[in-house]
Every structure is written in C-alpha cells, then in structure tokens.
Structure 1
Amino acid sequence: MRRKTRFACVSDTHAYAPAEAGFRLPVGDVLIHAGDLTNQGRMDELRKTMDWIAEADFEVKIVICGNHDVSLDADFYSKYGLKFHDHRLEDPQKCIEVVATASSSIVFLRHQSALVRLTRPNGPNTVFKVFGSPYSQSPGTWAFGYESADAPTLWSHIPLDADIVVTHTPPHSHCDSRATGGPVGCKALRQALGQVRPSLAVCGHVHESRGYERVRWASRGSEEAQIVRGALPPPGSKKQSLVDLTGKKAQRLENDSHLLDDSPATLFPPAQNILILTDELGEPHTPHSTSYPSESRPDGYPNDPPNSRSHRQETCIVNAAILATSWPHRGGKRFNAPIVVDLELPTWQEK
C-alpha cells in the first residue's frame, strides 16, 4: 500500500531564518535542507539555523551541508579556516555536534544514507531510503570540494535502492544554469542518478536555477533523456510552490515501489524509526554497498545490478534554493519560497 507523503524542500538559506527571508514553512511530513545552512560556517550562524529547523513542525528533517558550511568540513577548515575566520577559529567537532544533536527529529547525512520510517499516529506511516551528500564544486576555495576525476567514484556511493537523493550540487544540465553562463552541475552525478533513478533528487547551490524538472530516463547505456521543466508560481505569489507527483493533479511518476518488503519487523529493530545505513564522511566505502545490521536487512531489498532496475523510469529533480541571487547580489538579495513535493511512498504498516 502507498500513501502521499509531503516533503518541504529548501536549500541555501545562508543563515537566514524564515521570518527574515520572508517565507513560511508549509505544513508537511518531512523537511529537506540541501545545504548552505550558513554563510561562512560561524557557530552563531549554525545555532540560528538549527534552532529554526529543530522547531519546525515536521516529523523528520533531513539535513546536509554545503560549500559555505566551512566549519563542518574538518579537514578543509584545518587548512583554510583563517581565510574565513581570521579572529577566532571555530571548533569543527563542536560545530558538527550543533547540527547532529539539535533535535532527535533531524537526520544529518554526511555522504551517507538512512532508512526512515514515519511513525506519527496522524501521519502517512510511510518508509523511504534517502542518501545525502554535501559535496559540490565551486570557483575558489570552499568546503566539501572534489576533483572532477574523483567524481565517478564519489557518486558511486549512492545506493541503487535509494528512493530520495539529496545533494548540494545539482546534476549537470538539470536545474544548474547560472545567470551569467551555462550549466555548471556535475556530469558524474547526472550519470549516477540515471543509474539509480530515485523518485526525488533535491539539490541547491546554483541559486538562479531554483525550480524543478521531471526526467524520464532513456534506456540503459543511453545519455538521452526526456526532460519536462516544471512551472511554479512567480516570485511574490501567495500560491504554494507545489509539485504534485501523486497522480491527483499531475501524472504519477512511472516508478514501482523501491521497497519490496513492507514488513516493519524486517525493516527496523523494535521502536526504531531511523536507521543510518552507511559510514560517515571520510570513511572507506564500497561502491553501491550498504551496511545493514544483519537482523534488519530484508531479503527483498537488495542493491542489485542496474539492468534489473529498468522498471524505474522517472526522477523529479528539485533545486530548492531559498536565496534567489548569488554574490554580489546585484539589485539586492531576493528570496524564494520552499518547494513542496507530494510523493507516493510505500507504507510500513496498515492503519
């Protein structure tokens, strides 16, 4: 059985709280923040952002970092911290703790995945697998960067059975064009998404390309795909920026359920609703592998080869940037509203 689950998607808030940026968080089940929580990774910026995320009325909040969250990239900050904070350096471990411990409802993903079960009595009682990563490429020196030559290995860590993928960088040619040039997204990420074919991919980073696209992937091994750019209400509109993928107001995604075993006894140990599945950032990974506790891995939920996943046809790609302009913000800073995505997901129990 499948039910509608509502995701509120934001990114690139850059230390602005909703009241300051002039947007309201919609009612929903899950909040996704796709990175750039801060402007320069200061502790006061992190606390401010995590306070409003922790207080937001969503059962689960999925959070990743972005290139501006410099103090959350410990190795980077040890080398370049003085470039950003020349008076007093932050403690990266304490900064990470601020994000990770702000609320039990927050799932902080550092190039890793989690299996999430929604359990509120009045909620949809659905289950999904999400992968989140802070990596992106930017001009200049910024956190969580990577070399293009390393990109295929980096994005091979996305599990093939992921339902939702959250990355700070957009994939190449999808919601990734700057106002002053062409696409700047990652080609290797696009290729990985074409293999995984999650139902939803949320990103940010390129402020000017806020919006969404529905991508119908071509046959395996082909680079061509059918792309439909979605229409959202214009800036300043009081209408909600809603992407309905449930089949009620828009065509349903042509994807079968990714979770093939809906039994709560096999998906989770008792009383556990969030299961972190992979090692944290910086630890060794095996491409397309997932570390399941032996007692909780369902037999019908494998990381199987791509050619057996041909029944997945579409991905909705969302760039959820809240800050609508890039530095130096010519004409002043402007802000977007959250993008709301309604997605049908399998339930883990019958009501």
Structure 2
Amino acid sequence: MKIAHISDTHGCQPNLLWSPTCSNQAQATGLDLLINKFGDIDVLVHSGDFMAHSLCENELKNFIEWFDSLPFKHKILVPGNHDILCEEFQNKPEQRDKFFPKGMHLLINESVEIDGIKFWGSPYTPWFHDWGFQLHQHEAETLWPKIPDDVDVLITHGPAKGILDDLYAENKEDPRISSVGCPFLLKRINELDTLKAHLFGHIHGGYGRSEQNGYVALNSAIMNERYAPDNLPQYLEITK
C-alpha cells in the first residue's frame, strides 16, 4: 500500500500542495512530486491542523472540498489542536454527514481498515493553552491504552516522546527545546507488535522521518516554526 502523508497545513493547502494543471516537473510542488515519483498512491493521510482560524465553518468546508478533490482513492483525516470546530464530531455522527463525504474517513479515537491495513487515529495532544483536543496527564494514561493491539498504521496529531518531537526556539541560534512529545503515547507504542508506521505532525520543528524503532515514524508538518510552508509531503509503502 502506497501512502502519502501531510500535516499542519494551517489553511494554506490549495496552491501549496496540489496543482492539477502542472505538467512541468521543475514547477511541481508537494503532492505533485509524490505522484510524479511514485505513481498512483492509495491513501492520503492528513494528521491535523488543517484549519487556521479554528472555529470558521466556511474554512472547514473549503478544506474538505479541496481534500475531497485530490486524486487519491482513500483519504483519512485526523484533526489537530487548531481544529476546534471538529470537537463536535466526536459524539455526533449526524453532524459528520453534513460536512464529510463518503470515502473520507474522519478518525477521532477510532479505526478504519483499508485493503487489509488497519489505521487508528486520534487528534489528542498534551494540554497546552487550552486549544482543541487536549489531554491532561490522567486522561492520556486512559486514552492511549485504547489503541488496538493489531493496528498497522497509527495516526495521531502529536508525536510520542523522543521521536521527531524537538521544538525549536523562534531564533534558530537559540538552543532547541527538546522532546516535547507524549510519554504515555510512547509507552503504548512500545507495546504494539504489529505497528508498521506512526504518522503525526504538531511539532513543526520535528519534521522528518525515523526508522530507528522498528517502524516508520513520519512528522510531516508542512509549516515550519514560523508558519512558512517549508516542508514537503512524505511517502511510505507498507505491506500486511
């Protein structure tokens, strides 16, 4: 299965990531590059912070329209802390039907299986200034054990402790503030024997790829720490 991953687009997605009329490889950006290099991609995953203004319904509708238009057979969406408007969808499936078309999988502490590959997604991150989908310590200790034992691809908005989770100071000459990921998420990940990939964002300074822990970890935050779109989407291929 071929998977493309993006995160933390913060309202800047349309021209940034997909140019359907682009035929010049030198001018291709973002998802164009992945398609040009790898051909047809089965699943597109966005792991949150797709909104810029959090509570703007029109912004959410515009994003979903754009996301739905992309040329991928399957699309998975996990909200982030900036996507506060999506909190109402957690326990109100009837509200989801108003916004999300069939074939677009919104995951809020839930799973979906595609072609035999099990995905599980959660938008929750450690509490920080009372944004959306925030967890206090005791809540994190309760939530993460709910990740299924047989998950193949884990999608969370934020990183696990110590894995692509370094937060940089605004001034690049300042020392980095290291390892701000969730330790309770890391504990659960270390118990998952079938895990093939963990996809996340949230910590813009942690953008990158790691294969040091027996699975592929991708932080695909498109925005850098200054909210400039400096980073490209990432790609992985997995088998059952």
- TM-score normalised by the chain length of structure 2: 0.82
Q: Percent identity?
A: 27
Q: Is the 8 A contact 1:43 1:95 kept in 2?
A: no
The 5 Å alignment of 1:79-94 reads none
The amino acid across from 2:12 in the alignment is Y
Hey, what does 1:24 align to over in structure 2?
A: 30
Deviation at 1:21, TM superposition (A): 6.0
Q: Which amino acid aligns with 2:3?
A: F
User: 1:59-108, CA deviations, whole angstroms, 9 ceiling, x for partnerless residues?
Assistant: 110111100001111399xxxxxxxxxxxxxxx98874454x2x322111
User: Are 2:212 and 1:317 equivalent residues in the alignment?
Assistant: no
Distance in 1 between residues matched to 2:119 and 2:152, nearest whole Å: 6
* C-alpha displacement of 1:38: 0.3
Displacement of 1:116 in angstroms is: 1.6
Tell me the SS of whatever aligns to 1:7. strand
Equivalent residues in 2 for 1:292-303, closer than 5 Å = none
Partner of residue 129, structure 1: 118
Partner Cα separation in structure 2 for residue 69 and residue 171 of structure 1 = 20
Determine the C-alpha separation between the residues in 2 that align with 1:194 and 1:46.
34
Equivalence map 1:8-87=2 (5 Å): 8-20=4-16, 23-25=29-31, 26-27=34-35, 28-41=41-54, 42-74=56-88
Shift of 1:344: 2.2
**Pairing of 1:279-294 with structure 2 (within 5 A):** none
Q: Secondary structure at the match of 1:341?
A: strand
1:190 aligns with 186
Unaligned segments of structure 2, at least 5 residues:
19-28, 36-40, 170-176
In the alignment, which of 2, 6, 16 is matched to residue 2 of structure 2?
6
Q: Where does residue 208 of structure 2 map in the other structure? A: 211
RMSD (Å) for aligned C-alpha atoms: 2.2
Q: Of the candidates 126, 134, 137, which is equivalent to residue 145 of structure 1? A: 134
Is the contact between residue 50 and residue 98 of structure 1 (CA under 8 Å) also seen in structure 2? no
The correspondence of residues 102-251 of structure 1 with structure 2, limited to 5 A, is: 103-117=101-115, 127-180=116-169, 181-197=177-193, 198-216=195-213
Give distance in 1, aligned partners of 2:191 and 2:125: 20
Residues in 2 aligned to 1:165 and 1:75: alpha-carbon distance in whole angstroms: 20
How many residues are paired up?
A: 213
2:146 aligned counterpart, secondary structure: coil
Tell me how far apart the structure 1 counterparts of residues 60 and 186 of structure 2 sit (CA, whole Å): 30
Give the C-alpha shift of residue 159 in structure 1: 0.2
- Rg larger in structure: 1
Work out whether residues 12 and 205 of structure 1, in 8 Å CA contact, stay in contact via their aligned partners in 2: yes
CA distance in 2, matches of 1:341, 1:167: 16
Residue 71 to residue 93, structure 1, CA distance change in 2 (3 Å):
farther
Deviation string 1:146-184 (CA, Å, 9 cap, x unpaired) is 111221211011000000000001000001110021111
**1:279-333 Cα shifts (integer Å, max 9, x gaps):** xxxxxxxxxxxxxxxxxxxxxxxxxxxxxxxxxxx211111111122xxx2xx72
Question: What one-letter code is carried by the residue in structure 2 that aligns with 1:115?
Answer: E
Amino acid of the structure 1 residue aligned with 2:223: L
SS of 1:110's partner is coil
Question: Is contact 1:71–1:95 with CA below 8 Å preserved after alignment?
Answer: no
Corresponding residue SS for 2:3: strand
Q: 1:150 to 1:11 in 2, by over 3 A?
A: same
Question: 5+ residue gaps in structure 1?
Answer: 77-91, 118-126, 217-313, 346-351
The whole-number CA distance in structure 1 between the counterparts of 2:140 and 2:207 is: 23
Partners of 1:173 and 1:24 in 2: CA distance:
27
Question: What SS class does the counterpart of residue 195 from structure 1 fall into?
Answer: coil
- Kept in 1, the 8 Å contact 2:166–2:180? The answer is yes
Letter in 1 for 2:207: R
2-structure distance, mates of 1:30, 1:75? 22
- SS of 1:73's partner is helix
More helix by share: 2
